[in-house]
């Protein structure tokens, strides 16, 4: 089998209906057929590429070929966003009366699918502490059909033992689905541990340039066919240009990830002992409570870390304001560093109760290290942390 860098550049070659070295953009909503027989064939071809773009397009098929080979799965498909991948799969795989297990620490959109969307459809849910292997088993019911995991989780960087969850699910005939957005197939391949379906916000590392919203699903062809049957109904189709940009981004994923990994590790180590910082959440630090699990199932730890500022909400906000390179933005995984203060982002979205249930402290900042020079990023975060540490508290000011 070829290495990831070769796969990212050549895995779609058999899919290309053209001899152009750079694949053309199939900017068409529909395709024509020679005769009735051909037309019928094209219409029933699941995840095909020559009937109608909502049903499939050559640019989709090229991305899918690369993602499937990178993730070590039989097949893959693309959607208009990461959330479209999740909701389409869930709508295809569960029905009223079923039960779904998810994590307490999980991406906000995933949490909302669990807490708001599924219960409205008559699907019951249980959220578990993913760091506790036994919690998944305790949550199983005879109605459980699906377990949704995310490792490392957004934004707390908690890990899930993928092999343990996959083994448990297989033994009970339950499907598993892993959000691999933070790790990417360069750092972790959930299918190698027995996870059935892998999904991504391809908006993040897979595309890598903060210029496309996209999602992917990877897994067995038969399972993806069931999901595709629903995808043509929900209609969350990726535009051909966006699929083409995503393919271009994928070409350099294996080159970009080692730099993201190195930058994430360097920032985590630099901030770990800083007096303004009480805690650094990063699976590559020996102090991460699940570092051994991380080292066992990941080959790199990614560019995202979360830090807790000693000064709480105000210090976190001030820290972001001092950063020169990382801009305040809700995404991650691009070549440019970004930072977000979840407590201020969620202020308008969540109630006080939901904020405290999220387990995300008010002084937490999520840093997504880009591919800039490591020394520049380290100098920048240290300067921001120094500045925050030096700001006198109101009490100190009053005492003067
Ligand atoms: C961003 C993100 C999503 C949602 O993906 P979109 O492409 O924004 O729909 C899902 N999971 C994780 C971990 C994410 O970071």
Instruction: Answer for the pair 349, 319: CB distance below 8 angstroms, yes or no.
Output: no
Radius of gyration of the chain (CA): 22
∠64-83-90 over CA atoms, to 5°? Answer: 85
Q: What is the mean pLDDT of the chain?
A: 95
Q: Provide the percentage of residues in the chain whose pLDDT is more than 70.
A: 98
Q: What angle do CA 336, 337, 341 make, to 5 degrees?
A: 140
Model confidence band, residue 397 (pLDDT cutoffs 50, 70, 90): low
Query: Distances in Å between the alpha carbon of 378 and those of 205, 269, 286, 318, 391?
Result: 21, 9, 19, 17, 20
**Rounded Cα distance, 209 and 203, in Å:** 8
Cα–ligand 1 centroid distance for 110 (angstroms) = 8
Under DSSP, the state recorded for 25 is: P
List residues bridging with 340 in a β-sheet: 366
DSSP codes, 216-254: EEEE-HHHHHHHHHHHHHH--PPPHHHHHHHHHHHHTHH
Test site for ligand 1: of 109, 183, 184, 199, most ligand atoms within 8 A of the Cβ: 109
Give the pLDDT confidence of 316-332 residue by residue, as tens digits.
999 999 999 999 999 99
Task: Name which residue sits closest to atom 3 of ligand 1, judged by CA.
Answer: 201
Our mutation pick for probing the ligand 1 site, out of 203, 303, 360, counting the most ligand atoms within 8 A of Cβ, is 203
Catalytic residue from among 26, 55, 107, 205: 107
**Chain segment 355-377, per-residue pLDDT in tens:** 777 788 999 999 999 999 999 99
CB-based pocket (< 6 A), ligand 1: 81-83, 107, 109, 150, 154, 179, 181-182, 201, 203-204, 213, 215
Distance 245 CA to ligand 1 centre (A): 18
> pLDDT by residue (tens digit) across 104-135?
999 999 999 999 999 999 999 999 999 999 99
Number of H helices, E strands in the chain: 18, 12
Find the 393 Cα to ligand 1 centroid distance in Å. Answer: 36
At residue 357, the pLDDT reads: 76
What percent of the chain clears pLDDT 90, i.e. is strictly above it? 90
pLDDT-derived band at 398, boundaries 50, 70, 90: low
What does the pLDDT average to over 239-247?
Answer: 98
CB 94 within 8 A of CB 163: no
Residue range 171-191, pLDDT digits in tens: 999 999 999 999 999 999 999
Domains of the chain: 4-251 (3.40.640.10), 254-399 (3.90.1150.10)
- Burial (Cβ within 10 Å: 0-12, 13-18, ≥19) of residue 142: exposed
pTM of the entire predicted model: 0.95
Per-residue pLDDT at 166 = 98
Whole-number Å distance, alpha carbon 174 to ligand 1 midpoint, is: 24
Confirm whether 107 is a catalytic residue: yes
- The answer to whether residue 392 scores a pLDDT higher than 80 is no
Using the CB atoms, write b or e for 221-251: b if 16+ within 10 Å. eebbeebbebbbebebbbbbebbbbbbebbb
pLDDT of residue 212: 98
Catalytic-residue membership of 204: yes
Nearest Cα neighbor of 86 from 256, 185, 217 is 217
pLDDT digits (tens, 9 = 90+) for 63-109: 999 999 999 999 999 999 999 999 999 999 999 999 999 999 999 99
Quote the tokens at residue 261: 């990994």
């Amino acid at each position: 089998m070829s290495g990831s860098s070769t796969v990212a550049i050549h895995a779609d070659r058999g899919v290309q209906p053209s001899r152009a070295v750079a694949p053309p953009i199939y900017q068409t909503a529909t395709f024509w057929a020679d005769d009735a027989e051909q037309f019928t064939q094209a219409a029933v071809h699941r995840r095909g590429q020559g009937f109608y773009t909502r049903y499939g397009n050559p640019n989709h098929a090229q991305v899918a070929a690369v993602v499937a080979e990178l993730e070590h799965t039989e097949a893959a498909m693309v959607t208009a966003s990461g959330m479209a991948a999740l909701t389409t799969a869930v709508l295809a795989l569960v029905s009223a009366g079923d039960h779904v297990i998810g994590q307490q620490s999980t991406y906000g959109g995933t949490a909302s699918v669990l807490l708001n969307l599924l219960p409205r459809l008559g699907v019951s849910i249980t959220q578990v502490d993913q760091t506790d292997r036994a919690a998944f088993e305790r949550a199983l019911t005879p109605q459980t059909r699906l377990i949704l995991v995310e490792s490392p989780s957004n934004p707390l960087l908690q890990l899930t033992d993928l092999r343990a969850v996959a083994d448990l699910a297989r033994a009970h005939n339950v499907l598993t689905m892993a959000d691999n957005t933070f790790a990417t197939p360069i750092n972790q391949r959930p299918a190698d541990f027995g996870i059935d379906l892998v999904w991504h916000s391809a908006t993040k590392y897979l595309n890598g340039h903060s210029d496309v919203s996209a999602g992917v699903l990877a897994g067995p062809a038969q399972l993806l066919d069931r999901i595709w049957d629903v995808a043509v109904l929900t209609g969350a189709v990726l535009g051909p240009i966006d699929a083409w940009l995503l393919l271009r981004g994928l070409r350099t994923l294996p080159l970009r990830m080692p730099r993201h990994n190195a930058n994430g590790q360097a920032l985590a180590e630099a901030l770990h002992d800083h007096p303004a910082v009480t805690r650094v959440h990063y699976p590559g630090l020996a102090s991460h409570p699940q570092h051994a699990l991380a080292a066992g199932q990941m080959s790199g730890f990614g560019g995202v870390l979360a830090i807790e500022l000693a000064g709480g909400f105000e210090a976190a906000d001030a820290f972001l304001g001092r950063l020169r390179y990382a801009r305040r933005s809700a995404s991650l995984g691009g070549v440019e560093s970004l930072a977000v203060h979840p407590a201020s982002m969620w202020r308008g979205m969540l109630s006080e109760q939901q904020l405290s249930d999220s387990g995300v402290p008010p002084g937490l900042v999520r840093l997504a290290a880009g591919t800039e020079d490591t020394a520049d990023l380290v100098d920048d975060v240290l300067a921001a942390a120094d500045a925050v540490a030096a700001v006198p508290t109101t009490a100190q000011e009053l005492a003067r």
